[in-house]
């Protein structure tokens, strides 16, 4: 069964320190993965997707099929990065339907 | 332009009451999703519409949950005979096409509390 695991509920780092938010997935097909972010009092929004191989707000994520991971990284944390981060996997359920399967999320707190 | 909107933002219901939650997707968006987010959890899929067609309702927890999108725009999620376990934030998301990798834009959610 498809599953997304984010092992850390809370991650605290100092400003300027590197950040790594862990995400592991379980999926039998070819995975399509995303990171979503929710800042305080804002709605959930897309941060980045693996197929784009993009860097958004200094964040990158590399798909590692061997380790079934899609960890989110940033070399130098900023206070404005404090937010809730969700890793998500596209899963298909047939007849043209699909959905996002989310992990439980990791709350990142950047200490000034 | 305006993003996805949801109403009401907060709803308190007594156990056994029926509730209706509304979602206004971004104009012209083909795909519409409902997710349920319990406290401390990630969003969980409920149902998916492509225009007015409900292609997947496999995530609806029970037959007390019903969703519709009759004209392919506004959608309503109805919960009959609410139970305490229905307390959660209900999120609506829409995307421009039916492509799976298309960005899903989320609404602010409706926080339902069942007493």
Residue spans of the domains in chain B: they are: 5-114
Does A50 lie at the interface with B, CB-CB under 8 angstroms?
Answer: no
Q: What mean pLDDT is predicted for residues A67-78?
A: 96
Q: What is the pLDDT of residues A94-108, one digit of tens each?
A: 778 889 999 999 999
The residue of chain A with its CA nearest to that of B107 is A43
**Strands A83-94, B88-95: pairing kind:** unpaired
Judge whether residue B28 has pLDDT over 60. Answer: yes
Distance separating alpha carbons of residues B3 and A45, to the nearest angstrom? 11
Nearest chain A residue to B40, by CA: A104
Q: Give, as one character, the DSSP assignment of residue B104.
A: P
Q: What is the pLDDT of residue A89?
A: 95
B76: exposed, middle or buried (Cβ count in 10 Å: 0-12, 13-18, 19+): middle
Position A74 confidence tier, pLDDT thresholds 50, 70, 90: very high
Whether A26 has a pLDDT exceeding 70, the answer reads: yes
Q: Across the interface, which of A43, A46, A99 has its CB nearest the CB of B48?
A: A99
Q: Read off the pLDDT of residues B62-110 as tens digits, 9 standing for 90 and up.
A: 999 999 999 999 999 999 999 999 999 999 999 999 888 889 999 999 9
**B88-95 and A106-111: which strand pairing?**
unpaired
Q: Measure in Å the smallest separation between the Cα of B47 and chain A Cα atoms.
A: 8
Please name the residue of chain A whose CA is at the shortest distance from the CA of residue B103. A46
Range B32-48 burial, b when 16+ CB lie within 10 A, else e: bbbbbbeeeebbbbbbb
Class of domain B5-114: mainly beta
Are the Cβ atoms of B100 and A92 closer than 8 angstroms? yes
Mean pLDDT, residues B18-22: 98
pLDDT of residue B1: 57
pLDDT of residue B46: 97
């Amino acid at each position: 069964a498809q599953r997304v695991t984010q092992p850390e509920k809370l991650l605290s780092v100092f400003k300027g320190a590197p950040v790594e938010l862990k995400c592991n997935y379980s999926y039998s097909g070819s995975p399509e993965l995303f990171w979503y972010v929710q800042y305080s009092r804002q709605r959930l929004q897309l941060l980045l997707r693996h197929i784009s191989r993009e860097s958004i707000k200094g964040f990158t994520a590399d798909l590692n099929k061997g380790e079934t991971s899609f960890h989110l990284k940033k070399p130098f944390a900023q206070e404005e990065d404090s937010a809730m981060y969700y890793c998500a996997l596209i899963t298909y359920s047939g007849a043209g339907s699909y959905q996002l399967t989310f992990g439980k999320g990791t709350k990142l707190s950047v200490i000034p | 332009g305006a993003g996805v909107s949801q109403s009401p933002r907060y709803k308190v219901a007594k156990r056994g009451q029926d509730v209706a939650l509304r979602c206004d997707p971004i104009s012209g968006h083909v795909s519409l999703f409902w997710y349920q987010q319990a406290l401390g959890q990630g969003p969980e899929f409920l149902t998916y519409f492509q225009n007015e067609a409900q292609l997947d309702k496999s995530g609806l927890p029970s037959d007390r949950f019903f969703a519709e999108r009759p004209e392919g725009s506004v959608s309503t999620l109805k919960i009959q005979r609410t139970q305490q376990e229905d307390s959660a934030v209900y999120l609506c998301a829409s995307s421009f096409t039916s492509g799976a990798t298309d960005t899903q834009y989320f609404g602010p959610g409706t926080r339902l509390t069942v007493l």
